[in-house]
Amino acid sequence: MRRAIELAQETALVEQAGGPFGCVIVKDGEVVAEGANRVIADGDPTSHGEMNAIRSACQKLGTHDLTGCTLYTSGEPCPMCYAACCWAHIDGIYYASTCADASEYGQFDDSKIASSLKLPVADRALSAQELLRDEMLEIWKVFKQDGERAQY
């Protein structure tokens, strides 16, 4: 966790690359990846510490499945990063500060996203509409039957 906090300080206060968010991923007691928030430096709203650490860990381990890994992050994961941890099969998450802390001290407010996700699609803040579902279902049907497809 201390390394995650060091990364947060470095990326936000020294490099000014993004917010104070650092992350470390550990497997079998060894650090396999680190990441820091680089939203400003990369011009990429998905360049969060957790996302960068997950990408790095997957590349280093040669897999999209991070089962057996634990994630240490300087801030409670936002909805995007939490979802990425779930998709990656991270075993556990430890964080040093809360979403409420990020909102209070840095005006990072994830409440709109979290609240929106609880609503039906039609009622969410960012509108989304189904389009060409029948065409896409044909692909899904073939995918379902493909015995050699990649497994997630």
50 catalytic per annotation: yes
Q: CA torsion sign, 115 to 116 to 118 to 123?
A: positive
> Which one is catalytic: 10, 34, 50, 76?
50
CA 4 → CA 14, 50, 74, 116, 139, distances in Å? 15, 10, 6, 29, 42
Cα distances (Å, whole numbers) of residue 88 to 4, 57, 136: 19, 10, 25
Distance of CA 79 to the CA centre of its chain: 8
Residues assigned a catalytic role: 50
